Amino acid sequence: MTVSLPLVFVLGVIAWAAIKFLGVRLWVAVVIALFGFWLSHTFLAPVIESGTRSGVDVVNGTHE
């Protein structure tokens, strides 16, 4: 079974849970999100994309 959820929704739920249950401050979550956007425009972007796709394949059970 494959479930298709937007990544933004999943990350939003994780951020909400971290703020609500772990006591993470809202400004820390915002800084982490902004750092992620900045990081996606560096030379590390292809490595991050490859790792994310591999992780999704493992979770979905479609890795070869």
- What's the domain count of the chain? 1
Contact of 47 with 37, CB cutoff 8 Å: no
Instruction: Report yes or no on whether pTM surpasses 0.75.
Output: no
Domain that holds residue 19: 8-59
Q: What are the pLDDT digits (tens) for 6-15?
A: 878 888 899 9
Asked if pLDDT for residue 17 goes beyond 90, the answer is: yes
Q: Is residue 64 part of a domain?
A: no
Q: Is residue 14 part of a domain?
A: yes
Q: Is residue 3 part of a domain?
A: no
Q: Is residue 43 part of a domain?
A: yes
Residue by residue, DSSP assigns the chain as ------HHHHHHHHHHHHHHHS---HHHHHHHHHHHHHHTTSTTHHHHHHHHHHHHHHHHT---
